[in-house]
Amino acid sequence: MLVLEFKVRAKKHQYTAIDEAIRTAQFVQNKCLRFWMDNEKVNKYDLNKYCRVLAHDFNFANKLNSQARQSSAERAWSAISRFYDNCKSPRAERTPLDKGGRGDRGFPKFKKNCRSVEYKTTGWKLDLTTRKCIIFTDKNNIGRVKLVGSYDLNFYPIESIKRVRLIRRADGYYCQFILSVEVKVDTSPANSVIGLDVGLESFYTDQNGNKINNPRFLRKGEKKLKRLQRKLSRKKLGSSNRRKAKQRLAKTHLKISRQRKDFAVKLARCVVHSNDVIAYEDLRIQNLVKNHCLAKSINDAAWYQFREWLEYFGQKMGKITIAVPPQYTSQICSDCGKKVKKSLSTRTHVCACGCRLDRDENAARNILKIGLGTVGHTGTWLQDSLNACGEDTATFSGFAVSISRTEKS
């Protein structure tokens, strides 16, 4: 599965039409959820059938392409089925659903600000001569829009385009093409293993004491976000200055999230490429988001994403990724196995056995040791949680790289 993304260039009335389509998609999604709540034993197919009823009852719903309506219903269904799954699984294994990711059952919520609409194989047509324009043919009247970007759609057969998404972001509109193409990756063994310890001071430390520094955008971005946030809070409610300030803040958020993704993808690909076994701590989002320090939270988000890409590339390149339980990895001596208590501020590990190491290096050695003691992937996979949220996949995938994670559908 490959995701190619283009920026959309269009006229003002066309952007309005895109907004309209996104609003309709959200409407259908929410209506389906309501239908499921109000009726007993509703399944996936009932929701699909219900789409037709909606199109009949509401004129604006009828304007949206029928398959696009269906994919909205599918989004509603994926939230519902995730809820069912969560009800079955024990608390610790639940997918983090909301931002807090507290591992609750995650009763599906009504969407308030949907940002995308998804077409399948109908309702749109590519300009076949240049493939630099797409024409939306449903009654929504989006019409013909320009695609700006460096990817070349000529490279792929039209039949391989399985879905087309229109996405609204802080800095404009985007069009994603989801293609069913197998991405070939080089899978030669690297004859090397690595254990990673995540730190506050550096992004990670490996078992040989190599450190990757925290990327500069984390610090810089944090400062900028704080400043913009302050500015926003001083603006009058409902004023146009407030709207502008909000827009600026949103754009900065978008920029940082792109930098974060770019960083995570590049680093993860590099780490997986040059190692056969990658061991790291099984940190869950629940433990990570508790603190209020902004820099830390951006860092956590970056690390979380890095881990997702590690697992993704691990699968693609046939390497082993192991998430080990994070307990005591920094306390135990990697040489003799004795426990050496230390506080967060102690940066060096000094043991009675004569072992003297950087704190993070010691932890990385322990992580690798535990990792090598297990076979295959243990701990939890992050990928499923990501695949499940259609909306998030939309914003995660395909901006800086051409490879995106496989969707389960």
Cα 212 off chain centre by? 22
Least Å from the CB of residue 366 to Zn ion: 11
Least Å from the CB of residue 352 to Zn ion: 6
Distance (Å, rounded) from C-alpha 311 to C-alpha 397?
A: 15
Question: Are 45 and 85 within 8 A, CB to CB?
Answer: no
Helical H segments across 176-239, by residue range: 216-234
Sign of the alpha-carbon dihedral angle for 262, 264, 267, 270: negative
Select the span of 100-108, 126-134, 278-286, 348-356 touching Zn ion (CB under 5 A). 348-356
The residue (of 288 and 340) whose beta carbon lies closer to Zn ion is 340
Least Å from the CB of residue 322 to Zn ion: 24
Least Å from the CB of residue 47 to Zn ion: 59
Select the span of 6-14, 188-196, 330-338, 399-407 touching Zn ion (CB under 5 A). 330-338
Least Å from the CB of residue 328 to Zn ion: 14
The residue (of 14 and 334) whose beta carbon lies closer to Zn ion is 334
Instruction: Work out the burial of residue 354: count CB atoms within 10 Å of its CB; fewer than 13 is exposed, 13-18 middle, 19 or more buried.
Output: exposed
Strands 277-281 and 193-198: parallel
Kindly report the length of the chain.
Answer: 409
Select the span of 102-110, 154-162, 190-198, 327-335 touching Zn ion (CB under 5 A). 327-335
The residue (of 323 and 333) whose beta carbon lies closer to Zn ion is 333
Least Å from the CB of residue 347 to Zn ion: 17
The encoded tokens of residue 205 equal: 């430390």
List the one residue from 37, 183, 336, 400 that touches Zn ion (CB under 5 A).
336
List the one residue from 20, 46, 276, 335 that touches Zn ion (CB under 5 A).
335
Smallest CA-to-CA distance from 329 within 277, 357, 367 is with 367
Kindly determine how many residues on this chain lie close enough to bind Zn ion according to the rule CB under 5 A.
6
295 binds Zn ion (CB under 5 A): no
List the one residue from 353, 373, 384, 400 that touches Zn ion (CB under 5 A).
353
What is the three-class DSSP state of 70? helix
333 binds Zn ion (CB under 5 A): yes
- Whole-angstrom CA distances from 348 to 210, 331, 353, 369 are 15, 11, 14, 19
The residue (of 19 and 335) whose beta carbon lies closer to Zn ion is 335
Distance (Å, rounded) from C-alpha 144 to C-alpha 96?
A: 39
351 binds Zn ion (CB under 5 A): yes
Classify residue 159 by its DSSP letter: G
Question: Phi and psi for 159 in degrees, rounded to 5?
Answer: -65, -20
**Bridge partners, residue 178, by sequence:** 3, 163
The residue (of 185 and 340) whose beta carbon lies closer to Zn ion is 340
Distance (Å, rounded) from C-alpha 191 to C-alpha 67?
A: 48
The residue (of 37 and 336) whose beta carbon lies closer to Zn ion is 336
Select the span of 71-79, 160-168, 207-215, 335-343 touching Zn ion (CB under 5 A). 335-343
Least Å from the CB of residue 332 to Zn ion: 9
Select the span of 14-22, 156-164, 168-176, 347-355 touching Zn ion (CB under 5 A). 347-355
The residue (of 190 and 355) whose beta carbon lies closer to Zn ion is 355
Output the CA angle 273-394-241, nearest 5 degrees: 120
List the one residue from 225, 294, 295, 355 that touches Zn ion (CB under 5 A).
355
The residue (of 232 and 350) whose beta carbon lies closer to Zn ion is 350
285 binds Zn ion (CB under 5 A): no
- Whole-angstrom CA distances from 30 to 17, 54, 151, 396 are 20, 11, 34, 23
Question: Phi and psi for 125 in degrees, rounded to 5?
Answer: -145, 135
Residues in touch with Zn ion (CB under 5 A)? 333, 335-336, 351, 353, 355
